[in-house]
Amino acid sequence: MRMAALAFFLTLIYSLTGCASAPLRFDGTHAYQKYVLDQMDLGARPAGSAADRATGDYIIAQLNASKWNVTTQEFTYHGVAVRNVIGKIAEGRGPIIILGAHYDTRARADQDKTHPDQPVPGADDGASGVAVLLELARTLDVSKLKNEVWLAFFDAEDDGELSGCIVAPGPACDSASWQWSVGATYVAEHLPTKPTAVIVVDMIGYTDQKIYYEQNSDAALQQQLWSIAAQLGYAAQFIPQYKWSMEDDHTPFLQRGIRAVDMIDFDYPYWHTIQDTADKLSGASLERVGRVLQTWLESQ
Ligand SMILES: [Zn+2]
C-alpha cells in the first residue's frame, strides 16, 4: 500500500517535471548518418596511421558525450603503436559483458583484383561495428542493466597475414607477418575477471544483410540472440543455420574459455576490396543488429 502510494506520487512528480522521458531506442539512421559517415570522412584507417589514431580519438569523444567511462590500452606491436578504447558503464553491478568491434581497417585490399595495393575504405569492415556500438552507447537504458557492460573498440584486427613492412612501411619496419586480432588478444590477456559473455560485431551493415550462426561461437548464446532477432521480426536477416567458420576478435576470448559470439555477415561481396564503401550499407541493417543487442543486454 505504501509502495503503491509512493509509486503514484513519483509518477505524478515525474510527469509534472518531465523527468519520465521516453527511453531512447537504437536508431539505425543516426548510426549510419553520424557514426558511419564520420568514420568514412577520416579515410582509410589502418593500424598505426594518423587516421586510425583520429578514429580512436573520435570514439573516445563519442563515449564521453554518452557519459561512459573511457579507458585505453596502449602498446606496441612490431614497432607500431596500437590503442584499444574501452567504454564502461554500470561498473560493479554484476559480471562483465563485453561488446566488441574493431575500428582499424585493412592496410591492403588484397581481395581486389584491380587495386590490391590500395587500402580498404572499411565501411562494413570497420565502421559498421563501431557505429552499432556507439549508437548503443547513446541509447542503452542503463537502469535496466544487471551487468557491468564494456564496449571494446579493438585496434589492429585486420592486418592478419600482411607483412609488417606493408602495414607500416619505413626504415625500421619489421617484415614479419601480422597476426589477426592483435587488439582483441591484448584485451583478452588483460581482463581483471572472466566476463560472462563477449559478443563481437563485424561486417554487419550490408544492405542485403544475412547473418548466419558462426561455427566457433558459443552455441547457446548464439541461439538466444537469434531468437530475439526472430521475435523482433528479423528472421529473414538472422538465419539460425551454420555457415561460416571465422577467426575474428571473438577467437582470443574463446581460447581462454570465455563464452563468445562473432556476429558477422560474411556474405559481403566487397570484403577486403576498395569497394567496401558507405553506399553498400543501410541504417536498417545497423538497426536490426543494434536492437537485438539492446534487447538482449537489457533483459540479462
Ligand atoms: Zn577485414
The pLDDT assigned to 11 comes to 52
How many angstroms does the Cα of residue 19 sit away from the middle of ligand 1?
A: 43
The pLDDT assigned to 3 comes to 52
Which regions in the chain score pLDDT beneath 70?
1-21
pLDDT digits (tens, 9 = 90+) for 144-167: 999 999 999 999 999 999 999 999
How many angstroms does the Cα of residue 54 sit away from the middle of ligand 1?
A: 19
User: Biggest alpha carbon distance in the chain?
Assistant: 76
The pLDDT assigned to 49 comes to 96
The pLDDT assigned to 148 comes to 98
The CATH topology of domain 24-298 is Aminopeptidase (3.40.630)
The pLDDT assigned to 1 comes to 43
Go through 64-79 and write b for each residue having 16 or more CB atoms within 10 A of its CB, e for each that does not.
eebebebeebeeebbe
Beta carbons of 158 and 105 less than 8 angstroms apart: yes
Beta carbons of 275 and 112 less than 8 angstroms apart: yes
How many angstroms does the Cα of residue 299 sit away from the middle of ligand 1?
A: 31
Angle between helix 129-139 and 50-65 (nearest 10): 20
When computed from its CA atoms, the radius of gyration of the chain, rounded to whole angstroms, is 20
Beta carbons of 107 and 47 less than 8 angstroms apart: yes
How many angstroms does the Cα of residue 94 sit away from the middle of ligand 1?
A: 33
The pLDDT assigned to 9 comes to 54
How many angstroms does the Cα of residue 273 sit away from the middle of ligand 1?
A: 10
How many angstroms does the Cα of residue 146 sit away from the middle of ligand 1?
A: 33
How many angstroms does the Cα of residue 125 sit away from the middle of ligand 1?
A: 5
Cβ–Cβ contacts within 10 Å for residue 43, how many? 16
pLDDT digits (tens, 9 = 90+) for 38-94: 999 999 999 999 999 999 999 999 999 999 999 999 999 999 999 999 999 999 999
How many angstroms does the Cα of residue 159 sit away from the middle of ligand 1?
A: 8
How many angstroms does the Cα of residue 44 sit away from the middle of ligand 1?
A: 12
The pLDDT assigned to 7 comes to 53
How many angstroms does the Cα of residue 105 sit away from the middle of ligand 1?
A: 7
The pLDDT assigned to 236 comes to 98
